[in-house]
Amino acid sequence: MTAETVADITLDTRGTLCPLPVIKARLAMDKMKPAQVLQLLASDPGAKADVPGWARVAGHRLLRQEERDEVFIFWVQKGEGKQ
């Protein structure tokens, strides 16, 4: 993706282990409006599979995923579906 993805909210869960990054992301999404974007930072390698899986099941859209200096960064757009 060439354009920068802009987040409405950034949530830093570095230093926590799964399932906490997903739980915290779900709680943040509960407060967001549809189409808003959450940027999630995680250091647990399990987040690489857990966050995209949660986003799909919850009806959200994973816009982008990166790894920088052992930090996993996800941009998730809130969907209209389940939380």
Instruction: Give the residues across from 17 on adjacent strands.
Output: none
Take residue 12 and report the two structure tokens written for it.
Answer: 């830093």
Q: What sign has the CA pseudo-torsion 37, 68, 12, 81?
A: positive
Residue from 11, 18, 28, 55 carrying the catalytic annotation = 18
Q: Please indicate whether residue 18 is annotated as part of the active site.
A: yes
* Tokens 């579906």 sit on residue: 81
Indicate which residues carry an active-site annotation. 18
